[in-house]
Structure 1
Amino acid sequence: MVQTKRQNAFGPLPRERALVLWLDEVGLGDIEVVGGKNASLGELIRQLTPKGIRVPEGFAITAFAYQNFIHFNRLEAKLRALFADLDIEDLANLHERGEKARALIQAGALPIDLEAQIRAGYRRLCEQYGVDTDVAVRSSATAEDLPDASFAGQQESYLNIQGEEAVIAAVRRCYASLFTDRAISYRQLKGFDHFAVSLSVCVQKMVRSDLAGSGVIFSIDPESGFENAVLISAGWGLGEMVVQGAINPDEYIVFKPTLDQGFQPILVKRPGSKERKLVYADGDEGSVLLTVPTTATEQSALVLDDEEIVQLARWAMLIEQHYGRVRGVPTPMDIEWAKDGNSGELFIVQARPETVQSQKSSQTLITYRLTGRGPLLVSGRGVGEAVGRGKARIVLTPDQLESFETGEVLVTDRTDPDWEPVMKKASAIVTNQGGRTCHAAIIARELGIPAIVGTGDATSRIDEGQQITVACCEGDEGHVYAGLVPFERSEVALQTLPRPRTRILLNVGNPSEAFRLATAFPNDGVGLARLEFIIANQIQVHPLALLHFDELPEGEEKAQLAALTASYPHRYDYFVDRLTQGVATIAAAFYPKPVIVRLSDFKSNEYADLLGGRSFEPVEENPMLGWRGAARYGDARFRAAFALECRALKRVRDEMGLTNVVLMVPFCRTPEEGRSVIAQLASHGLVRGENGLEVYVMCELPSNVILAEQFAQIFDGFSIGSNDLTQLTLGLDRDSAAVAALFDERHPAVKAMIALAITTVKKTGRKIGICGQAPSDYPEFARWLVELGIDSMSLNPDAAVRTRLVVAAIEAEMTTGA
């Protein structure tokens, strides 16, 4: 805190005894003077508006002014007596004490000099913006926005306040909100004395986001703690709907490292339903705000365009970097933004340090895995990576909270800050509404319990008292299962994990898991990212059905396709966009480590199962050995579809700057076919060797092994696909149950093929690895591969840590000769 005297807008006063200070007069050193929110706003205005960040103007009513108010009304003794027998575990006791405390505050009078300065400050804003200008009146506690405690949301904010009398009334209500039930409970839990925390109030010009949109920004992925992503949530109207979790907002994810290099790496643009918005009420029966339904157009449209997404992401990086410099440690940020519907300008209206992921220890890897299954009841956005189980308690109104018991699962439409004393008792939380930055998600992270938000209809699909399992360990989507599903929890001390010479990479198919996997599991990159997984799960459409939409027969499938691609002038751009986002998310998660992306390898029966696919796929007797992999790319029947694939991959590398993407060609039968694919890629701007592009080949056919020297002249590296190589060496159909017992990668014939592949490729100076489970399932197989000098093993994440330990031990033995 700055302890010097200075001239402020309201006259010369000792700074620590000033009643009102303008925001541009304060900074991060003034938390004890104006609270966390105001200190942060002042810091932004003073330090970052010169860099282009816009922050609305306003003034702070100081913490000293609040203390003066308490003293003037002789309230401290009364409040202390009131809290003498406080019991926050007794909700009735907590509610009674909170209600009486707020009544005492509301009945107090503002000292004359304080009221005069507030009125003067508001009149100055009116001179700048117009008579009776609209302002936000926000609480700013002196213990707020600390790096290790999130008091944000504990006190109230009041929006669209107009007129001097309304501002005075809102200030008094802010003072009273220091004693909301949730604020009292939180201070008690965090060990803060109720009378050591003071309240400042911010009076700030409103941004007319009621005419546009607003939301929240995290400069870190709030789920995984992945530090290189900016997550932006957006809804129409005022931002309370997003913050409170009253809607399912849009979500955008931007990759920081290549954004800093001048690229435009918007990894994800996920539209939310955005069914409601909060707007000005235009004096409707004295109300200043009104919740209204959004139009169908608003619900389907994105709130922000690409330029705005990038601008907000850049601002988030600037804010994060500045706070990190001031504090001397990396400081991920939680930021609120708003867009003015009149001017079209973006503004930052709040910024505070993120307090969950930034406080976590990275020394221990804790993983959860379901070992059983139950009937799926509902799904939504998963928060956390844990599993919670218990009896479902449906809470639709606040008066039902008192019956909530410790260990139950809270199932509700959305949570409210007043519910926090109960939320800490829950084993898990499930809501109908909300996104990853809503109140329920933030509190669940802070409490360390799993939550699933934005399910849509959990309160109607889950029965009161039903035993349920809330699983957030299966990727970005969380699932609620009926019954108490068994699960395993494991811990690994990461600081003890060795780093072997043989690189251990991960097989990653699901982009929504990429940030978590990259952050949680020690790795050397991605050895296998299958495009067909992204196509099947995130696109679900045959590319040719989009290119030839008008030729499709009328019916349900065509209607589904029309609905999926309704926002795209060219329907095939839906395929390119979704594929770009999927690949880019995986590449960004592991950047700058290599991410080997295998080009599409659907078989004809699998392609036929995609929407619109049956119109374009032949019926083959044995699709496993038919029209798949490299054979498709140059074929006239598929060439246009492959072009879409190439367009997406080029965007990832050239427009997003993710040059760590390595391409890999599957099921390439002959060197001639390999050269044809290289030419096809080049014709679409993916030139091997240009901009660091490497192209690998799957080593999964006997011809790849026998002609390895010729393939090495075409490709930069090899990845042994042990499944197909075993199948084709032993003459087995791995889809046939009749011969499944004969399938074994350890068969001498298969091992002879693998050994020949490794020794031949090593002689050519090319890299060779293996992607498959055999090294993790059979330690002796891993030993044999290491002894042959294989460069890398790519494994499913659940096997990566175990195999890393095995490989390191083998290498140590080989080094010592043991």
Structure 2
Amino acid sequence: MPQADYIAPFDTLTLSDIPRVGGKTASLGELCQLLRDDEVRVPDGFAITAEAYRDALSDAQAWPKLRELLAFDVEDVAELARRAAQAREIVYQATGGPALRAQIVAAFRLLQESCGSELSVAVRSSATAEDLPTASFAGQHESFLHIRDEDGLVEACRRCFASIFTDRAIVYRVNNGFDHAKVFLSVAVMRMVRSDHASSGVIFTLDTESGFRDVVFVTGAYGLGENVVQGRVDPDEFYVHKPIFRQGFRSVLRRSLGAKQTRIISEPKGDGAGLLTIPVPRALRERYCLTDAEVMVLTDVAIRIEDHYSKRAGRPTPMDIEWAKDETDGRLYVVQARPETVASQRGTDIETFRMTGSGVVLAAGKAVGERIASGIVRVIRGPADLAAFQPGEILVAEATSPDWEPVMKRASAVVTDRGGRTCHAAIVARERGVPAVVGTGDGTARLANGVRVTVSCAEGDIGRVYDGEVAFEVQRLKAEDLIQPKTHIMLNLAQPDLAFRFAQLPSAGVGLARLEFIIGEQIRLHPMAAVHPERVAKARERAAIDRLSKGYASPGRYFVDKLTEGVGVIAAAFYPRPVIVRLSDFKTNEYARLLGGRAFEPEEENPMLGFRGAARYAHPLYADGFALECEALARVREVLGLTNLKVMVPFCRRVEEAERVLAAMAANGLKRGEDGLEVYVMCEIPNNVIQIDAFAKLFDGFSIGSNDLTQLVLGVDRDSETVAFDFDERDPGVLEMLRQAVAGGHRNGRHVGICGEAPATYPEIAAFLTNIGIDSMSVNPQSLPRTLSVVREAEAALASAAPNSRPIAESVRT
């Protein structure tokens, strides 16, 4: 009987070969076809088929022994380790036959002929139930890198075959309902991409935290990719917006510089190579490991891979892609691609977590999971500590290992010193539905065994570990219950970190995006200090400005770039729905608290009614800072291509002031009407209502700021606790102002919305505004469900009482 052929070159394989070579290698074959003549390619290689594994075990009569060995309770960690080791030894011995060895060596020699005698290869396992749209098996089996000689290759292949019975793989199959005897292993042998002194990383074609589908998320670090995958370093991160990229705009939406503490390189050892982890020099750590142009190339190939797999599957298929850059030829390579199986599999139900209490922050890092959990800290410094781990504890470690998954599934949260959003700890946490704070730097030092903490990943990009049990709430909603009424219900949103998450709520867009949060929390630098750092008197503050803007051409460039990213993320998240961005409206005492701010801000007795809003923009004290705001917003529209962005002017007291502001905006690249730019004005001063016909000639729409309007109608300082009882938006005088504002705006064919707290705080005001025909209401995300319900009920009652009495013409809706 002739010997079966167990070798299959990559370029002969497609996705239809999954039963033959497993999901990982079949995917490599498919990518070879897709990227055959592309700038980005798949390294040459071959597969050792799953038939080799099956035949080897059958010839060794190993199946009965394995069935008996694997019939046990996988929750018993000690027994799991013992039986898994025995199973691996059975497979290792069975796959060492001379016939299989001869085929592996012959294929390796052919690969050497095409790639050169200095060839080194990666040896990677590929299971027949791996990298499927509903199960990834990511990290379950072994891989071996920089194999150079025939003996080393055969040894690596045998160990790959044996890794089908790692502890973690056994547990994963049991938990996901796979029969051990029906999952087979193939091995991929691939030319090694020499990224030792270049870079490598992971790409997702969605946002891994929120599941938002309209971005490509690229991560990378120096050296071999294991550092990124295993979470041993904090990688650089880049987001690119897919819809705009498809329209031809080639810009990074948002970037984050990672610490990139170490790199893995190969170290020659005789005929083979070992792997060495070395520190990355500070100068390299302070630079991105990819250029923007390279991010664009990777984005392009990632989108094409996603489109190809989606077409093959007949449904949208977000992808998880590994890439590497070769230091010798300078090319970018795709070394793996598989369907993403966590964020993309979430149901349509909406679950939101919100902190309601506060506490002392013990540690902070990157947030994974958008959830909150409390529990007792258990610091894991090595495998020996795993036995003491109790269900519901908080697992704290420098980094996690795939071998820890049987324990990790019992954790209520995970905290690590190292790692980014695509590391092992992050992947497992998402899959298990628990929050993880990764890359804290010092979590293992700051969190002690036995201490109760609260882990919050629901406050944006930063995850925090609070001392003690801090109160939080969970809101669970069904998406089908959140139906938009005729009156558009929009969101008030300040934090770009939450934009992808809240964009998936059924809103009509963003009615108020405030620049103050981005400037105050993310940029932290006074705009005038960014333009004129030399005017900042204190040397300590000037040094802080230099540190903030390090890596940028100037502090002004830092300010513009960071503001562009913050606003751009919000506009991209809701694209093509409208996003109305309000120009900065700090009061002078708030501006003064920004870095360098005291050098530029006057002291006022009553900042609430002082130098704020529109009064600042064309004034010599702030005009240069305002130019930075305008430049950033113009870049969002022109460079990023996010023309759904509208601009709103706050606290505009007089018509003449409005004219000066519009002129200043036009001089700084934001001309009303140019490229469809719409400019709104806040309607929050009684004069805005009284002169609404004149304001309507200058602006495209109005947004009622009920907080300031109520304050100024009633003469009550809204920040004063002493007279807080007199601040009530339901006062007849305030309601009359609201009515006149809506009627006046519509009389001039202008959109009228409201972005104050009144509709969210008082359902009766939401109903009142519906009855007078307001176009939109903008509320906080937590208030969205109730406001939708109240407005739908009010519209139904209005239609039932008088179907033709609605005072608004549908033609003025946007």
Q: Above 0.5 in TM-score?
A: yes
Aligned twin of 1:727: 711
Aligned twin of 1:8: none
Aligned twin of 2:131: 145
Counterpart secondary structure, 1:49: coil
Equivalent position to 1:491, from 465, 473, 476? 476
Aligned-pair CA distance for 1:132: 4.0
Give the letter aligned to residue 570 of structure 2.
Answer: I
Contact 2:251–2:292 at 8 Å: present in 1 too? no
* Aligned mates of 2:735, 2:586 — CA distance in 1: 27
Equivalent position to 2:666, from 678, 682, 689? 682
* Aligned mates of 2:384, 2:364 — CA distance in 1: 27
Deviation string 1:434-467 (CA, Å, 9 cap, x unpaired) is: 1111101111111111111111111111110111
* Aligned mates of 1:262, 1:286 — CA distance in 2: 46
Equivalent position to 1:193, from 179, 199, 202? 179
Matched, 1:751 2:738: no
* Aligned mates of 1:474, 1:684 — CA distance in 2: 34
Contact 1:258–1:265 at 8 Å: present in 2 too? no
Equivalent position to 1:408, from 378, 384, 393? 393
Aligned twin of 1:20: 7
Aligned twin of 2:754: 770
Aligned-pair CA distance for 1:286: 7.1
Contact 1:335–1:348 at 8 Å: present in 2 too? yes
Aligned-pair CA distance for 1:383: 1.4
Aligned-pair CA distance for 1:370: 2.7
Matched, 1:373 2:351: no
What does 1:200-219 align with in structure 2 at a 5 Å threshold?
Answer: 200-219=186-205
What does 1:223-372 align with in structure 2 at a 5 Å threshold?
Answer: 223-283=209-269, 288-362=274-348, 364-372=349-357
TM-score by length of 2: 0.96
Deviation string 1:225-255 (CA, Å, 9 cap, x unpaired) is: 1000111111111000000011111111110
Counterpart secondary structure, 1:266: coil
Give the letter aligned to residue 221 of structure 2.
Answer: G
Between 796-805 and 727-736, the greater mean CA deviation after superposition: 727-736
Aligned twin of 1:6: none
Give the letter aligned to residue 787 of structure 2.
Answer: T
Give the letter aligned to residue 164 of structure 1.
Answer: E
Give the letter aligned to residue 80 of structure 2.
Answer: L
* Aligned mates of 1:224, 1:731 — CA distance in 2: 43
Give the letter aligned to residue 24 of structure 1.
Answer: D
Give the letter aligned to residue 591 of structure 2.
Answer: Y
Give the letter aligned to residue 297 of structure 2.
Answer: Q
* Aligned mates of 2:271, 2:288 — CA distance in 1: 32
Aligned-pair CA distance for 1:104: 2.5
Aligned twin of 2:448: 463
* Aligned mates of 1:328, 1:141 — CA distance in 2: 23
* Aligned mates of 1:62, 1:696 — CA distance in 2: 64
Deviation string 1:544-582 (CA, Å, 9 cap, x unpaired) is: 212222343352211111111111122211001100000
* Aligned mates of 1:613, 1:372 — CA distance in 2: 31
What does 1:657-676 align with in structure 2 at a 5 Å threshold?
Answer: 657-676=641-660
Aligned twin of 2:807: none
Matched, 1:30 2:17: yes
Aligned twin of 2:58: 71
Listed as ranges, the gaps of 5+ residues in structure 2 are 803-814
Matched, 1:656 2:653: no
What does 1:392-791 align with in structure 2 at a 5 Å threshold?
Answer: 392-519=377-504, 521-791=505-775
* Aligned mates of 1:593, 1:145 — CA distance in 2: 35
Aligned-pair CA distance for 1:91: 0.3
Two-structure CA RMSD over aligned residues (Å): 1.6
Equivalent position to 2:369, from 376, 384, 387? 384
Aligned twin of 2:809: none
Counterpart secondary structure, 1:316: helix
Aligned-pair CA distance for 1:679: 1.5
* Aligned mates of 1:781, 1:254 — CA distance in 2: 40
* Aligned mates of 1:558, 1:284 — CA distance in 2: 54
Contact 1:18–1:64 at 8 Å: present in 2 too? no
Contact 2:149–2:272 at 8 Å: present in 1 too? no
Contact 2:124–2:160 at 8 Å: present in 1 too? yes
Between 379-388 and 56-65, the greater mean CA deviation after superposition: 379-388
Give the letter aligned to residue 73 of structure 1.
Answer: A
* Aligned mates of 2:203, 2:294 — CA distance in 1: 13
* Aligned mates of 1:646, 1:757 — CA distance in 2: 28
Aligned-pair CA distance for 1:734: 2.0
Contact 2:57–2:95 at 8 Å: present in 1 too? no
Deviation string 1:711-735 (CA, Å, 9 cap, x unpaired) is: 0000000000011111111222222
Give the letter aligned to residue 445 of structure 1.
Answer: R
* Aligned mates of 2:651, 2:36 — CA distance in 1: 55
Contact 2:123–2:188 at 8 Å: present in 1 too? yes
Give the letter aligned to residue 639 of structure 2.
Answer: E
Between 594-603 and 773-782, the greater mean CA deviation after superposition: 773-782
* Aligned mates of 2:536, 2:748 — CA distance in 1: 49
Equivalent position to 2:121, from 119, 123, 135? 135
Aligned-pair CA distance for 1:137: 0.5
Contact 1:386–1:449 at 8 Å: present in 2 too? yes
Listed as ranges, the gaps of 5+ residues in structure 1 are 1-11
Equivalent position to 1:94, from 68, 80, 93? 80
Matched, 1:806 2:790: yes
Aligned-pair CA distance for 1:128: 2.1
Matched, 1:44 2:31: yes
* Aligned mates of 1:113, 1:768 — CA distance in 2: 79
* Aligned mates of 2:752, 2:535 — CA distance in 1: 44
Contact 2:535–2:599 at 8 Å: present in 1 too? no
* Aligned mates of 2:763, 2:270 — CA distance in 1: 73
* Aligned mates of 2:227, 2:448 — CA distance in 1: 27
Contact 1:264–1:310 at 8 Å: present in 2 too? yes
Q: How many residues align?
A: 802
* Aligned mates of 2:789, 2:491 — CA distance in 1: 15
Aligned-pair CA distance for 1:342: 1.9
* Aligned mates of 1:392, 1:286 — CA distance in 2: 42
Give the letter aligned to residue 75 of structure 1.
Answer: A
* Aligned mates of 1:325, 1:302 — CA distance in 2: 34
Aligned-pair CA distance for 1:51: 4.7
Contact 1:72–1:111 at 8 Å: present in 2 too? no
Counterpart secondary structure, 2:675: helix
Deviation string 1:263-315 (CA, Å, 9 cap, x unpaired) is: 02411110011111111123299751101111101211111111111111111
Aligned-pair CA distance for 1:177: 0.8
Aligned twin of 2:67: 80
Contact 1:634–1:676 at 8 Å: present in 2 too? yes
Matched, 1:165 2:151: yes
Counterpart secondary structure, 2:181: coil
4+ aligned runs moved over 6 Å, structure 1: none
Give the letter aligned to residue 444 of structure 1.
Answer: A
Counterpart secondary structure, 1:103: helix
* Aligned mates of 1:667, 1:208 — CA distance in 2: 58
Contact 1:265–1:657 at 8 Å: present in 2 too? no
TM-score by length of 1: 0.96
Deviation string 1:735-787 (CA, Å, 9 cap, x unpaired) is: 22332221111122222222111111111000000012211211111111111
Counterpart secondary structure, 1:288: strand
Between 732-741 and 572-581, the greater mean CA deviation after superposition: 732-741
